[in-house]
């Protein structure tokens, strides 16, 4: 009988690799707490209309990549391809606009897109992201980017680069789109099929094309920064000023538009050379009109980002090879039934103090020592009838080979 394997584009995350994932998520949660972000957990599937309206029908996500299915009642449901639309849906549904202050929400979880699997990209992938909803201030933009830098630095990443741009607003962007369509009129027939279609449906999407042959044409197109209205220009200049105040370097990328329709004004990406050609770790930006497009009667401007956790973990592993593997503090080798029962209680008490303990189920001491060595345990505790009677154990340091007798009362202090 043919064995069943994981579906193409998905994978199992096994130990010790899962330890790197835990480390990355712990760092992210710690940084989020320090910036007063609270966790939100939304369903992994939503009404299909949420993403069609929020993300945009002409985006690759909606037109090509979503996992959509018909429910038993005939409604159309979609596995979430991204989380911002879900967060804003929840924000509107639960009237979070009525709460005081800026709503700062973060999420960690799986997303789903049926795209070609490649290095660091899967059909079930994971994102760490955050949304700050309720302010148009450029200071919020700068703080969000600062928080991202703290997360990346916290997981040990170095050499990453921040790319920023402004994509304007509904006032100034139509003028740029008109210029873009005019500039593309002559060159579009030489571009890829998607770009030829986008010239008519949404010329801004052309700037997000990744086909190498199209890049010289895209590089010669007009810059959106030349078309910004006074308010958008002032907003972007202040974002850059606030980043400078924080000592955060960046590269201006006038053709950075991101892949989703809801972005306005500030957009950004962070790239890292270790990931090869598809080197983006995260992206984000401002979406001041998204809530209204999803039915909100209250103006709820926001800015957010999502980190590709699969790709961040890959970069973290390359930055610290083997440096995230969990350490086994103590391997207990009980000799006999009485010692085994005694070891069970002792191990429980040590675990309550935060010591990582593994108890051997093989009564032979030689086999126990071999197992402890393979598990890279820091210490081995040998318990027999004599040790129980004396209230003291034989403790071996597996790094130095030194062995000593340790009383039960001082064991925790020694291990600590």
The secondary element (H helix, E strand) that includes residue 107 is strand 103-112
The confidence band for 220, taking pLDDT boundaries of 50, 70 and 90, is confident
In this structure, are residues 391 and 355 in contact, taking their beta carbons and an 8 Å threshold? Answer: no
Question: Residue 159 region, left (φ>0) first, then alpha (ψ -120 to 50), else beta?
Answer: left
CA dist., res. 258 & res. 269, Å (int): 8
In this structure, are residues 126 and 310 in contact, taking their beta carbons and an 8 Å threshold? Answer: yes
Per-residue pLDDT at 269:
94
Mean pLDDT of 251-261: 80
In this structure, are residues 281 and 307 in contact, taking their beta carbons and an 8 Å threshold? Answer: yes
In this structure, are residues 356 and 372 in contact, taking their beta carbons and an 8 Å threshold? Answer: no
Residue pLDDT, tens place only, 25-67: 999 999 999 999 999 999 999 999 998 887 776 666 777 788 9
Residue pLDDT, tens place only, 260-316: 667 899 999 999 875 555 578 999 999 998 999 898 999 999 999 999 999 899 888
Handedness of CA 128, 133, 136, 138 (dihedral sign): negative
Residue pLDDT, tens place only, 76-89: 999 999 999 999 99
Tell me: pLDDT of 15 over 90. no
In this structure, are residues 61 and 260 in contact, taking their beta carbons and an 8 Å threshold? Answer: yes
Torsion of CA 322, 328, 334, 337, to 10 degrees: -100
Write the CA distances from 210 to 258, 261, 262, 274, integer angstroms: 11, 17, 20, 18
Average pLDDT of the chain, as a whole number:
89
CA dist., res. 307 & res. 28, Å (int): 10
Mean pLDDT of 383-409: 86
CA dist., res. 124 & res. 368, Å (int): 40
Tell me: pLDDT of 229 over 60. yes
Per-residue pLDDT at 287:
93
Q: Which residues contact 4 (CB under 8 A, 6 or more apart)?
A: none
Provide the b/e sequence for 205-244 (b: ≥16 CB within 10 Å).
bbbbbeeeebeebbeebeebbebbeeebeebbeebbebbe
Q: Which residue has the higher pLDDT, 194 or 322?
A: 194
Tell me: pLDDT of 324 over 70. no
**Is residue 312 exposed (0-12), middle (13-18) or buried (19+ Cβ within 10 Å)?**
buried
Domains of the chain: residue spans and CATH: 17-168+249-319 (3.30.930.10), 330-415 (3.40.50.800)
Per-residue pLDDT at 191:
86
């Amino acid at each position: 009988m043919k064995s069943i394997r994981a579906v193409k584009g998905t994978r199992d995350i096994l130990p010790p690799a899962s330890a790197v994932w835990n480390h990355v998520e712990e760092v992210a949660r710690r940084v989020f707490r320090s910036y007063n972000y609270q966790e939100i957990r939304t369903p992994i599937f939503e009404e299909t209309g949420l993403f069609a309206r929020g993300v945009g029908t002409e985006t690759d996500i909606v037109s090509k990549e979503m996992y959509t299915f018909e429910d038993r009642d005939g409604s159309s449901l979609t596995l979430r391809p991204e989380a911002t639309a879900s967060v804003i849906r929840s924000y509107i549904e639960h009237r979070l606009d009525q709460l005081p202050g800026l709503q700062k929400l973060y999420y960690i979880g799986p997303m789903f897109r049926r795209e070609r699997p490649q290095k660091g990209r899967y059909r079930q992938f994971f994102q760490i992201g955050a949304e700050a909803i309720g302010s148009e201030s450029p200071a919020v933009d700068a703080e969000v980017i600062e928080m991202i830098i703290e997360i990346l630095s916290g997981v040990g990443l170095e050499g990453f680069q921040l790319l920023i741009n402004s994509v304007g607003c509904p006032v100034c962007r139509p003028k740029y789109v008109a210029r873009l369509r005019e500039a593309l009129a002559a060159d579009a027939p030489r571009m890829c099929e998607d770009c030829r279609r986008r010239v008519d449906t949404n010329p801004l999407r052309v700037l997000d094309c990744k086909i190498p042959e199209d890049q010289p044409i895209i590089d010669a197109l007009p810059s959106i920064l030349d078309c910004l209205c006074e308010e958008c220009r002032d907003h972007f200049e202040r974002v850059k000023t606030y980043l400078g105040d924080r000592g955060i370097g960046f590269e201006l990328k006038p053709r950075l538009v991101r892949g989703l329709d809801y972005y306005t004004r500030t957009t950004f990406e962070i790239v890292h050379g270790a990931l090869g050609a598809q080197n983006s770790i995260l992206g984000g930006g401002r979406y001041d009109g998204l809530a209204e497009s999803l039915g909100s009667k209250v103006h709820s401007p926001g800015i957010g980002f999502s980190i590709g956790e699969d790709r961040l973990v890959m970069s973290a592993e390359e930055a610290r090879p083997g440096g995230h593997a969990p350490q086994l503090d103590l391997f207990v080798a009980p000799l006999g039934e009485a010692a085994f029962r005694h070891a069970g209680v002792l191990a429980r008490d040590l675990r309550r103090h935060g010591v990582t303990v593994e108890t051997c189920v093989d009564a032979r001491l030689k086999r126990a020592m071999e197992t402890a060595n393979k598990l890279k345990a820091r210490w081995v505790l040998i318990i027999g009838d004599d040790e129980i009677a004396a209230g003291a154990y034989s403790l071996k340091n597996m790094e130095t080979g030194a062995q000593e007798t340790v009383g039960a009362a001082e064991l925790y202090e020694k291990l600590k």
